[in-house]
Amino acid sequence: MKWGKNSVGWHFGFKLHLIINDCGELLAFKLTQAFVDDRKPVPDMTKDLIGKLFGDRGYISQKLFEELYQRGLELVTKSKKKMKNRLVKLIDKILLRKRAVIESVNDHLKNICQIEHSRHRSPFNFLVNLMAGLAAYTYLPKKPSIDIYPKDLPALPPAIF
């Protein structure tokens, strides 16, 4: 293990990378050392996924986008301020605003499932605590989710020609 730096500061430890679906269920997770670039574990974590993957600006990479796109997975991120404007589908813009759900999942993991704990005396205890917290999260009856399916809307009338 080595010292690592992230947006918060210098740490001796790890980062937990998560992929969730719209229902807040864990699809994949990976533990890396603190200094590992956030984009590095993405290809391994998304091996069996297709569709759309939403991430923050830290995941912007043309190489990563192309690699995932070839496998049927579209990476959607907000643009950085100095990037050229690009067309983004309206549904993608709306779903990008719902990215805060992953922060709610992180909050549940830290506060309800108690995975954030800095007093472990061994790496084994750390891993047992982490795995127990992730397992406990999967059994939570109510997870943070995105309601992307419209309900109680009358069917559109057929088009008249």
Q: What angle, rounded to 10 degrees, do the helices at 123-138 and 100-111 form?
A: 120
- Backbone phi, psi, residue 31, to 5°: -105, 125
Q: Is residue 102 in a domain? A: yes
- How large is the average pLDDT for residues 62-81? 87
Which CATH number does the domain housing residue 39 bear? 3.30.420
This prediction's pTM: 0.76
Convert the pLDDT of each residue in 28-49 to its tens digit. 999 988 788 999 999 999 998 9
Q: How many domains does the chain divide into?
A: 1
Domain of 27, in residue numbers? 4-139
Convert the pLDDT of each residue in 125-147 to its tens digit. 888 889 999 999 999 999 988 87
Is the confidence at residue 150, as pLDDT, over 70?
no
Q: Is residue 132 in a domain? A: yes
Is the confidence at residue 109, as pLDDT, over 90?
yes
Is the confidence at residue 159, as pLDDT, over 60?
no
What's the gap between Cα 101 and its chain centre? 9
- How large is the average pLDDT for residues 51-56? 88
User: What pairing do the DSSP bridges indicate for beta strands 73-77 and 26-33?
Assistant: unpaired
Q: Is residue 158 in a domain? A: no
Convert the pLDDT of each residue in 78-106 to its tens digit. 776 666 667 778 878 877 778 788 889 98
